[in-house]
């Protein structure tokens, strides 16, 4: 028990010390005074993951078509705003894409970068609605471990990023990720418009590829920063590399399971369907020929033979009658 008490006290003391080196510019910004609001939102998210499916178990799924259209296109505009702000502010501040230290001054461009990063952090909290909409629509198969891990960790960990390093090297990953999310939510928004638009959305697979490229670029960029001994917290660099590796593994597995593993099955099913369609077409051709023969020719033949039998029956009956008449006369 004493060990746990000491561990808890040491953790509290470390947190108090870390606040002395935190970014003073963001201290009074919403959600940034302490981690409790962020942890409360993430805990509520996890609680909804448990209670949501139970609530929807015996209920009809919500459609939410108009809601999804508004939400997805709103996220397109929000991520484009973040991308534009980071790009313009970093350009005005002459940021380096190889190594950029954090400037904690009140320079307008630096504050603009910090503000854009704060909006990026907020957008990760808003993205919790992705999961909420999946559950309300009873798309439970979409709520995978990758989905939950990605959403929950991004919002929680980016609080740390904004609290201590709202600028410098932090802009690179957020800048790239915001651009990718513009494309991603544009896809979701168009898909929400209905089947008339969905038939043109052939590029979903490439969104996953772009995301995996993003993580590889992040690792390469971070490793380069360590190589040149960039004036940025090294523990954050190492943590980011480990974090990106987990995404490469999870997204790689998702890509394999979704697009590679099912490819032979799709090819087999398509070949079997084509062969079955060919055989069904041949059977249909035979049925059509048989139908023509039985329906028309045989009817005509049967009709002709019936007519022939009708015509022939009279002469056959007449001789019999004549014979019987003749016998009667002879008798």
Q: At what angle do helices 170-191 and 108-126 cross, to 10 degrees?
A: 40
| Token pair 């062969």: residue | 275
Tokens of 318: 């007449």
In 23-156, the DSSP E strands lie at: none
The pLDDT score that the predictor gives to residue 19 is 86
Q: Of the given ranges (36-45, 187-196, 216-225), which has the lowest mean pLDDT?
A: 187-196
Contact predicate 33/162, CB 8 Å? no
The more confident residue out of 320 and 166 is: 166
Please determine, for residue 295, whether its predicted confidence score (pLDDT) is greater than 70: no
Contact in structure between 165 and 233 (CB atoms under 8 Å)? yes
- Which pLDDT value is given to residue 9? 85
When mean pLDDT is compared across 2-11, 44-53, 62-71, 290-299, the lowest value belongs to: 290-299
32, 117 Cβ separation under 8 angstroms: no
In order of 129, 222, 261, the CA distances from 250 in angstroms are: 21, 20, 15
List of residues 6+ apart from 148 with CB closer than 8 A: 49, 131
Residue 83 has pLDDT above 70, yes or no: yes
Q: Residue 263's pLDDT is what?
A: 60
Q: What angle do CA 88, 162, 248 make, to 5 degrees?
A: 85
Q: What is the pLDDT of residue 264?
A: 56
Candidates 215, 13, 41; CA nearest to 121 is 41
Q: Is it the case that residue 1 has pLDDT exceeding 60?
A: yes
For residue 23, is pLDDT > 60? yes
Confidence check: pLDDT of 68 > 60:
yes
Mean pLDDT of 108-119: 96
Least confident of 42-51, 103-112, 132-141, 297-306: 297-306
Residue 195 token pair: 């089947």
pLDDT of the residue at 282: 44
At 72 the pLDDT is 97
Q: Write out pLDDT tens, residues 133-178.
A: 999 999 999 999 999 999 999 999 999 999 999 999 999 999 999 9
User: Is 6 known to be catalytic?
Assistant: no
CA 133 to chain centre: 13
**How many other CB atoms sit within 10 Å of the CB of residue 28?**
8
**Extents of the domains making up the chain:** 34-203
For residue 127, which of 66, 189, 185 has the smallest C-alpha distance? 185
Q: How many CB atoms lie within 10 A of CB 174?
A: 23
What are the structure tokens assigned to 245, written together? 């590796």
**Model confidence pLDDT, tens digit, residues 229-287:** 999 999 999 999 999 999 999 999 988 888 877 665 555 555 554 444 444 444 444 43
Catalytic residue selected from 150, 151, 181, 221: 150
Cα–Cα distance between 185 and 178 in angstroms, integer? 10
Exposure string (b/e) for 146-158, b if CB count within 10 Å is 16 or more?
ebeebbbebbbeb
**pLDDT value at position 296?**
39
Percent of the chain surpassing pLDDT 90:
66
Mean pLDDT of 9-32: 90
In this prediction the pTM is 0.78
pLDDT at position 258, please?
Answer: 84
Average pLDDT over residues 81-85: 97
- 92: nearest Cα among 146, 167, 191, 181: 167
DSSP string, 16-53: HHHHTTS-GGGTTSTT-S-SHHHHHHHHHHHHHHHHHH
Angle between helical axes of 65-92 and 108-126 (0-180°, round to 10): 160
Angle between helix axes 65-92 and 128-136 (nearest 10 degrees) is 170
Q: Can you tell me which residue has the tokens 């470390």? A: 14
Q: Are 26 and 105 in contact (CB under 8 A)?
A: no
The candidate with the shortest Cα–Cα distance to 250, out of 151, 171, 124, 160, is 151
Number of other residues whose CB lies within 10 A of the CB of residue 108: 11
pLDDT exceeds 90 at position 51: yes
């Amino acid at each position: 028990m004493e060990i746990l008490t000491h561990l808890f006290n040491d953790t509290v003391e470390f947190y108090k010390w870390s606040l002395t080196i935190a970014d003073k510019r963001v201290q009074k910004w919403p959600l940034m005074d302490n981690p409790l609001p962020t942890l409360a939102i993430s805990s509520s998210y996890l609680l909804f993951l448990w209670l949501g499916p139970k609530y929807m178990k015996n209920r009809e799924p919500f459609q939410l078509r108009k809601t999804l259209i508004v939400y997805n296109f709103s996220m397109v505009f929000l991520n484009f705003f973040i991308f534009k702000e980071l790009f313009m502010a970093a350009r005005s501040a002459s940021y380096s894409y190889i190594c950029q230290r954090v400037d904690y001054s009140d320079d307008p461009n630096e504050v603009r970068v910090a503000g854009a990063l704060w909006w990026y952090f907020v957008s990760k909290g808003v993205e919790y609605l992705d999961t909420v909409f999946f559950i309300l629509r009873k798309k439970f198969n979409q709520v995978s471990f990758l989905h939950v891990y990605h959403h929950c960790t991004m919002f929680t960990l980016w609080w740390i990023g904004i609290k201590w390093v709202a600028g410098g090297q932090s802009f690179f990953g957020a800048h790239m990720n915001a651009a990718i999310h513009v494309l991603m939510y544009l896809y979701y928004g168009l898909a929400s418009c209905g089947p008339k638009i969905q038939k043109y959305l052939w590029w979903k697979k490439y969104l996953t590829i772009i995301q995996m490229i993003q993580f590889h670029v992040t690792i390469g960029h971070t490793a380069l920063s360590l190589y040149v001994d960039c004036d940025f917290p090294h523990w954050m660099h190492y943590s980011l590399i480990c974090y990106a590796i987990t995404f490469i593994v999870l997204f790689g597995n998702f890509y394999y399971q979704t697009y590679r593993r099912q490819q032979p099955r799709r090819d087999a099913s398509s070949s079997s369907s084509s062969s079955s369609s060919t055989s069904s077409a041949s059977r249909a051709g035979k049925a059509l020929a048989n139908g023509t023969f039985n329906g028309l020719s045989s009817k005509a033949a049967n009709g002709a033979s019936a007519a022939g039998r009708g015509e022939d029956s009279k002469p056959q009956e007449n001789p019999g009658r004549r014979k019987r008449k003749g016998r009667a006369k002879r008798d």
